[in-house]
Amino acid sequence: METIKRTKVKDLLKSEPGQDVLAKGWVRTKRGNKQIKFISLNDGSTIYNIQIVADTSKFEESLLQKITTGSSLAVRGKLVESVGSGQAVEIQAAEIEVLGECDPVRYPLQKKDTSLEYLRTVAHLRLRTNTFGAILRIRHNMAFAIHKFFNDNGFVYLNTPLITESDAEGAGDMFEVTTLDLTKVPMKDGVIDYSQDFFGKRTSLTVSGQLEGELGATAVGEIYTFGPTFRAENSNTPRHLAEFWMIEPEMAFYDIADNMALAEEFVKYLVQYALDNCMDDLKFLNDKYDNGLIERLHSVLGVQFQRVTYTEAVDILEEAVRNGHKFEFPVHWGTDFQSEHERFLVEQHFGKPVILTDFPKDIKAFYMKQNEDGKTVRGMDVLFPKIGEIIGGSEREASLEKLEKRIDEMHMSRKNLEWYIDTRRFGTVPHSGFGLGFERLLLFVTGMANIRDVIPFPRTPKNAEF
């Protein structure tokens, strides 16, 4: 084939007709008659395909037969104005090379629609569907926008460890990391002798980079982490993964109000970025899965998120129950909200995103700043329509004395946390931070219903395939 530079489909669709072009990609469909074949080619650069028009008299029958759904092609030809393809341009094929054949009998993704559940069992082909193409491009755009937002605001990207000896906050059950031979675990005085393990201590995969993040923030001011997080929660919900990505900004000199303002500005920026840069893919997902998607994205931009305390929210929920609303789980002061409660507040009561603050201290982590009432702490959860909690954060306890007292009250080991407590011992400052679950954000932005469908290789209980 004549050597000209390949043009991506995304760029071809915007190009002026008349030029000689080279396209490469995978066949989505082939149709036509004896004289002429129409081939839809997609290369993953856009949700749209480029139409290839092949005059059958110019090509060997044996070559045309190899062009089946899923096969890969290089096509050189003239870009011409299109009459019927629904696109402005198409390629009049001059040369076609089949790069990789695709046995139509064995190929599991035929034209007919296949369910998302089924697709999870064919990981390699799943990513080649229109749906996953859209999701992967949106996921990439959101990751890029996250780095851009923080970079533009002067935050430092901090890499916190994935292997840790601290259970950050009791945020979730942890996966243990060990090189001990599990068929003959060394014991000493009736317990596992971790001194013989790789690190000489019991270690696990991290559930949060926050504690290390606080060390970064109290050194360079404003940091964020963006990395994988592991929680062995056996919950099997459409909103939990065992391995997910989390973004955790941590800021010195921010109080809870500054923290809320940043969280609101941040998620609005990301939603706006998606609307500005991913519209083709959003339209596809809107039409195929969730007709309210684009409207919902716009709806969070035009409003100020409702700030409400946990105590006020309990009053609202109890009032709703008195008025006949049925929740599956009971609600009273002191309980952690379930997603049905969160969604009631957002979707039915306020009709906009909600930032809940000032939770009972007993349902929150040891590091949250204690309020003067002795009962509540300055935590904040950002709740979104359709999802419930998307962000969890707090102002951190800056007082050495109060922090140590709380660690003792919660029967945690001060000794293991000395490295962290030192931030309060030497030049402590007010500071705050939060964690945004990347896949929860993507659930909102893509409108997908199951968190497994916004990550390329989901890890959930009993599933770590591929």
**Which residues are near ligand ATP by CB under 6 A?**
171, 231, 233, 240-241, 244, 246, 389-392, 435-437, 439-440
Burial of 316 (0-12, 13-18, 19+ CB in 10 A): middle
Pick the closest to residue 159 from 215, 200, 83, 198 (CA basis). 215
Rg of the chain over Cα atoms, rounded to whole angstroms, equals 27
Minimum distance, C-beta of residue 86 to ligand ATP, in the bound complex (Å): 38
Residues 6+ positions from 147 with CB-CB distance below 8 Å: 157, 226
Q: Please report the DSSP string for 126-182 in residue order.
A: HTTSHHHHHHHHHHHHHHHHHHHHHHHTT-EE----SEESS-SSS-S---EE--S-T
- Gap between the Cα atoms of 437 and 444, Å rounded: 11
Nearer to ligand ATP, 52 or 443 (CB): 443
Given a contact cutoff of 8 angstroms between Cβ atoms, the answer to whether 210 and 164 are in contact is no
Nearer to ligand ATP, 243 or 280 (CB): 243
Whether the Cβ atoms of residue 130 and residue 284 lie closer than 8 Å to each other: yes
SS3 content of the chain, % helix, strand, coil (to 5): 35, 25, 40
Q: Give the separation between CA 104 and CA 375, rounded to whole angstroms.
A: 65
- Closer Cβ to ligand ATP, 108 or 334, answer by number: 334
**Rounded to 5°, angle at Cα 165 from 162 and 166:** 95
190 DSSP assignment:
T
Contact 355, 306 (CB under 8 A): yes
Closest CA to 120 of 460, 458, 462: 458
Q: Are 26 and 41 in contact (CB under 8 A)?
A: yes
- Minimum distance, C-beta of residue 339 to ligand ATP, in the bound complex (Å): 7
The residue (of 233 and 280) whose beta carbon lies closer to ligand ATP is 233
Identity of the residue, 46 or 460, whose beta carbon is nearer to ligand ATP in the bound complex: 460
| Shortest distance, position 39 Cβ to ligand ATP, whole Å | 40
Selection from 86, 59, 62, 61 nearest residue 75 by Cα: 59
Minimum CB–partner distance for residue 336 and ligand ATP (Å): 7
Residue 327 DSSP code? -
Q: Which C-beta is closer to ligand ATP: that of 23 or that of 205?
A: 205
Spell out the alpha helix ranges (H) of 310-462: 310-322, 339-343, 400-409, 418-425, 438-446
Measure CA 450 to chain center. 11
Token duo for residue 168: 């950050």
